[in-house]
Structure 1
Amino acid sequence: MNSRSDQVMFAILLIASTLSQGLTTVSYGMDFITAFPENVAYFYPYTSRRILRVTALQNNTKVTVHSNNKQIPLSVMRSGETANVSFPKPSEVYQLGLSSNSIRITSDKDIVVHSFSQTHTGTATLPEKSVQTNVVQPITNLDTEYLIPLLNQSDLIQTFGGSPQPFWSQRYSSFKLIIINAEDTGNTVTIVKNISGSVQEEEINIPSYQLIQLQADASLYKIKSSHKVAVILTHPCLETTACKCNMIVNQILPKQFQGQNFVVPYIPGTTQSRLLMTSNDKSTSLSHNNVQLQPSPSGFLSLSDQTKSQYVSASGNVSLTLISPGLFIEVIPENMFAACYLLQFYSYTSGLKKALVIAETDSKDNVRVQNSPVRNAGWTEITGTKYSSALIPLSESITVIWHPSSKIAVYLLENTGTKNYGGPAIPINTQPDEFGCVAIPGQFEVRHEPLSWAESLAHCTGLQKHLACPTREDIQNELSREVHTTEEEAWIGLRRSLMTTEWYWQRQTPSLNSLPYPSVNYLHWADGHPSEDLRGLCASLSLNDKDEFKWKSAKCCEKKRPVCYKPPIGFYPLPFAQDFLL
């Protein structure tokens, strides 16, 4: 690099999707498609609502809703701002066959979308009757092949000690499958069934952005398509107890969301629950404490102790669904744990909203809600694992839970007064970051002109940046991958105290004044460094890959190129939402 034009910005994509590794954990994007299934919970003509909750991750975000051949722009949104978009009753998909009742949400910057379907009595004094919610996956997370859980309504009800109602029509006596064409082209969808050991296939053509609703039973086990589709498993009124029912909505996730190790969460208020395993390999088994779980004739698996979170492992990649009467929760596999989650609750009533958090035991006290560490959470260690779990009460209806140095799993849970509902929270960051939930990633810049350490610090500070601080191995590795190899060395933000002779990280920008200096727990010194005498009070980084980008102690007055780092812009949701009625 020998000119200003050769200066290079190196971006650490702290919230980048890991599609190249076959995994996708983040649920933000700029193009979404979904639908509202029919909701007749409790059989009575209660008032019902259908809401998409859209949250912007960046300022000046333009969002458009596409519904029934109409395009409705929303107001320009700020970072963290949420819009509640309500849809009329005819938006529900209530007939079998083809329909144009799909709903698309597009934007010019990253957003997340949460779907709520709810029934209530229509009065302010009585509680909600049924609430179902699911995270709407961006089209980038969708696929062309899905495994469908083998669910039979009669078996499911009998598993929990109930019996099917003799007066139920076929319309309400089975699960439904909504398949949505996610692309602007015709889509050939193949329905794969196994009937008495014989595999049968049926092809269906779905026009651009339209959908089809099918009845689903235990014979339908796979969906294949020529282009991307979204798949929703639903039931308009699944019986629970006392001749009542809850609507079920569950967006099926593609195979890249599967895993082999799971921490199955304990859901307070549920007296019984079962696991349903979905796998492409019929020989796959599930075990707990090295004991293989035996499925019931209906395929459901039970855990011996249903009063605490437990660790289970599969012999191959699977999806796990935790099922109790009226409640379906996708279990987050360990390889899908993330660092920051957005939680969006339906209710604004305090005292009913909780988060179930699973974190590494050694670092559980660093879990944070918004900017505050969680205190007195009552953590419980999960036997045989490095994890603990805690149930954290929340007051805000929209919030974030994150960890600065390790990955966690977060579920949102809410009690509407009569029933629990919930599911996985929305993952925002895949990699931990001490700055919180990241909306715009941080950036490294190697300056061309050599400066002293003090001049380098002033230079970076003047640019609203700070000297690079590889405080963890993953940051050091990312920096090493991004920089261009040279024979030179560059200053980093590590120096020695004249008072204590201890090394410390120096970060000094106006935007970081409220952050404590991180501890020097990670070291990457070259052989012979740091020098034992006090002449080398500052630290530099080798820009040569042959030297493994090792650190060296050096005199602070020496001239070296500074590595500046622009901190990422954090994302924090605003407490109130604007309402739109379509």
Structure 2
Amino acid sequence: MFAILLTVSMFSQGFTMVSYGKSFITAFPEDLGYFYSNTSSRLKVTALYDGTSVDIFYNGSSTPTETISNILKGQTVTVVFSKSAEVYQLDYSTQSIRITSNKYIVVHSFSSTNFTITAISAQTNIVQPDENLGMNYLIPSLNYTTFLTTFGISQSTSWSPKYNSFRLIIINAKDTENNITIVKNISAQIQLVNFTIPSYQLIQLQADDSMMMVNSSHKIAVLLTHPCLDRTNYTCSMIINQILPVRFQGQNFVVPFVRGITQRQLFMTSNDKADLLSQYNTSLTPSSSGYLSLPDLNTRYVTASSNVSLKLIIPGLFIELIPENQFAACYMMPFYSNYQWAVVITKTDSRDQVRIGTAPFINPVWLEISNTQYSKTEIFLSRQLIVIWHPSSKIAVYVVETIGNTVFGGPAIPINEQPDPNGCMTPGEFVVGDQPLKWTESLAYCTNTQSQFACPINEDVQIEFIKQVNTKNVEGWIGLRRSLMTTAWYWQTNTTSASSSVNYIYWANGQPQDNTTELCASLSLNHTDDFKWKSAKCCEKKLPVCYKQPQILLPLTMSSTVYIP
């Protein structure tokens, strides 16, 4: 047990998360909300660059079930799935959904029943890219009967026993067999449950308060769900919460007020059961079952004694709270109803700088959060896809929607980690040309395509390059060459820029060659060669590798829909 806990603690330091990527995996849990109504399951895929192509792999297919080509920057495509996409069995399944793309995208999930004005089961969920998945997850120790008792809800006597507990869906995110270990605490005794999941498949298990953590040999996605979470007045709504790996935990949280909610509880998940929460140096004592009742509906600031995850739990809705160390600079918000608003938390001294799209907020009503540096506002929104950002400070944004008496939503989608005064920016884009050219021709090619030579001047840029570029068993030119006069290497981004010295190197073994005939630098475009650099003769023909500067992201109103039976 000590070894398992130690592994968790090693990966729990945390860093800001962005939710774009080029590879995603998810599933649609069973939705019985409002008792077997017809349901709708869909993914919203938004491109961050022009010329984006997306492949959808469904139900164990090794070839794309659907391909969507030529998506524009800021354009959203809705992918609608049939009822058969829902994972209803407690066992292994091939019903995972994989999304891959040639360029960065964000993916948002929405499940609902066909609704009337007063009756709907609805849940949204950010589908995390593979980069944000992990191999160590702490599981909330939730007991369904205790949950109902906490909120004063009478449990239905007609349900099958399989509906009287939460569920855990574990999805293998890798094309290889994945070894899974579930750690349970049963009567103060640690028990390990071991099994394997085949490539890209999943398993759904009943979850209870004995589950502590899930460890794996390769990356997995973990969903906490219930097909029909009871609410008052004998209604129910499916819930879904994608659990984040332990490295995304934090210590300080701003707990927002959520419009339309009269009951709420906090639930903390941590590696150490002795962890405590406090507010303004006053300890907050949870109940014996772990729930922490909030005496009022005010926004508040709470601190944990170590890194934890914190959920705001409401009948029919779990909201994963954004820890202070995970605040970001720009968020995207897709919407699904006509009544939607954003909850924005920002530093008080710069709150007037918050922007929505290209404009400032119009007459926001700010509420300072006592004894903190933060203020909070709510803003009603009428557009279907927007961005909210701050030019100089990190913020937190939640999106909340209502249909009838149903409230759903959660954290908005973080796009930019660091503030940028220009706006909500797409990541810089690396582009590899199609035709081999000489080094000088490659420099001209990049300039003529409104970009510059790729210059991995530090480790961060090199890593970003590796993440973006698709594997090719060829070599490409970069903006690195050697001076004829001094033989020193320097960076050159275009024909007019000043040269710059080289402070970071990533040469392959034995490189660069120590001669004056190999004056230019290329890199391998193959993952197996680790994208290492090498010197080469400038007259050789290789693919040009260009870099397009980050651009302002403005979501487009145009959209399209595809259907997968």
Structure-2 separation of matches of 1:151 and 1:566: 47
- Cα distance between partner residues in 2 of 1:145 and 1:240: 32
Cα contact 1:55–1:81 (8 A) shared by 2:
yes
**Residue equivalent to 1:568:** 550
Instruction: Decide which of 169, 188, 204 is 1:178's aligned counterpart.
Output: 169
Contact 1:405–1:434 (CA<8 Å) still a contact in 2?
yes
Deviations 1:407-463 (A, max 9, x none): 0000000011221101000000000001111114399xxxxxxxxxxxxxxxxx999
Query: 1: CA distance between counterparts of 2:70 and 2:198?
Result: 31
- The answer to whether structure 1 residue 294 and structure 2 residue 285 are counterparts is yes
Q: 1:327 aligned to 2:321?
A: no
Amino acid aligned to 2:57: H
CA distance in structure 1 between the partners assigned to 2:377 and 2:558 by the alignment: 27
Give the share of equivalent positions with the same residue, in percent: 54
1:108 and 2:95 matched: no
Match for 2:68 among 69, 74, 79? Answer: 74
Residue 375 of structure 1 corresponds to: 362
Corresponding residue pairs, total: 452
* Equivalent in the alignment of 2:487: none
Letter in 1 for 2:559: A
Aligned in 2, Cα 1:177/1:379: closer, same or farther, shift over 3 Å? Answer: same
Partner of 2:516: none
| Partner-residue secondary structure (3-state), 1:364 | helix
Q: Matches of 2:341 and 2:14 in 1, distance apart?
A: 32
Distance 2:548 2:114 in 1: 48
In the alignment, what sits opposite 2:238? 247
Q: Against the structure 1 CA distance between its residues 566 and 434, is the aligned structure 2 distance closer, same or farther, given a 3 Å change threshold?
A: farther
CA apart distance, 1:75: 2.9
For residue 256 of structure 1, give the secondary structure of its aligned residue in structure 2: helix
Task: Provide, for residues 373-415 of structure 1, a one-character-per-residue CA deviation record: whole Å limited to 9, x for no partner.
Answer: 0021101000011100000110111110001110000000001
C-alpha distance in 1, partners of 2:427/2:311? 33
Could you tell me whether the CA contact under 8 Å between 2:60 and 2:95 is conserved in 1? no
Query: Given the alignment of the two structures, is residue 204 of structure 1 paired with residue 195 of structure 2, yes or no?
Result: yes
Distance 2:404 2:113 in 1: 13
User: What does 1:417-566 correspond to in 2, within 5 Å?
Assistant: 417-441=404-428
Is the alpha carbon distance of 1:250 and 1:442 closer, same or farther for their aligned partners in structure 2, counting shifts above 3 Å?
closer
Specify the code of the residue in structure 2 equivalent to 1:88: S
Alpha-carbon separation, structure 2, partners of 1:61 and 1:200: 46
Match of 2:561 in 1: 579
Deviation at 1:566, TM superposition (A): 8.4
Q: CA deviation at 1:312?
A: 0.2
Name the structure 2 match of 1:34. 26
**Alignment check: 8 A CA contact 1:120 1:127 kept:** no
Query: Which SS does the other structure have where 1:76 is aligned?
Result: strand
Bigger radius of gyration? 1
Write the distance in 1 (CA, Å) between the matches of 2:231 and 2:169.
22
Specify the SS of the correspondent of 1:569.
Answer: coil
Q: Distance in 2 between matches of 1:69 and 1:166?
A: 36
For 1:160 and 1:192, locate their aligned partners in 2 and report how far apart those are by CA, in whole Å.
Answer: 28
Q: Which residue of 2 aligns with 1:503?
A: none
Counterpart mapping for 1:266-415 below 5 A: 266-306=257-297, 308-347=298-337, 349=338, 352-415=339-402
Q: Which residue of 2 aligns with 1:510?
A: none
State the match for 1:96 in structure 2.
Answer: 90
Counterpart selection for 1:195 from 186, 196, 213? 186
The SS at the match of 1:242 is helix
Picking from 19, 26, 48, the partner of 1:57 is: 48
Q: Please give the per-residue CA displacement for 1:327-346, whole angstroms capped at 9, x wherever unaligned.
A: 10000000000000000112
Residue 416 of structure 1 pairs with residue 406 of structure 2: no
Distance 1:544-1:48 versus aligned 2 partners, 3 A rule: closer
Q: Find the residue that maps to 1:358 and give its secondary structure.
A: strand
CA 1:102–1:397 in 2, change beyond 3 Å: closer, same or farther? same
Offset from partner CA, 1:352-390 (integer Å, 9 cap, x none): 110000011111111111101002110100001110000
C-alpha distance in structure 1 between counterparts of 2:51 and 2:502, whole Å: 41
Aligned position for 1:232? 223
1 CA distance for matches of 2:304 and 2:23? 33
Contact 1:58–1:440 (CA under 8 A) maintained in structure 2: no
State the SS of the aligned residue for 1:167.
Answer: coil
Cα distance change on mapping 1:139 and 1:127 into 2, 3 Å: same
Counterpart in the other structure of 1:548: none
TM-score (norm 2): 0.76
- CA change 1:229–1:20 in 2 (3 A) is closer
Distance 1:127 1:281, change over 3 A: same
CA distance in 2: counterparts of 1:566 and 1:57, whole angstroms: 13
Relative to structure 1, is the Cα distance of residues 194 and 414 closer, same or farther in structure 2, using a 3 angstrom cutoff? same
- SS of the aligned residue for 2:232 comes to coil
The residue type equivalent to 2:128 in the other structure is Q
TM-score with structure 1 setting the length: 0.74
- Decide whether the 8 Å contact of 2:13 with 2:247 is kept in 1: no
| Secondary structure of residue in 1 paired with 2:71 | coil
User: What is the rounded CA distance, in whole Å, between the counterparts of 2:329 and 2:228 in structure 1?
Assistant: 35
Q: Mean alpha-carbon deviation: is it higher for 151-160 or for 433-442?
A: 433-442
How far is the alpha carbon of 1:285 from its aligned partner?
0.5
Q: What is the CA distance between 1:126 and its match in structure 2?
A: 3.8
In structure 2, relative to structure 1, the CA distance for the partners of 1:119 and 1:442 (3 Å cut) is closer
C-alpha RMSD of the superposition: 2.8
> Is the Cα–Cα contact under 8 Å of residues 182 and 211 in structure 2 kept in the other structure?
yes
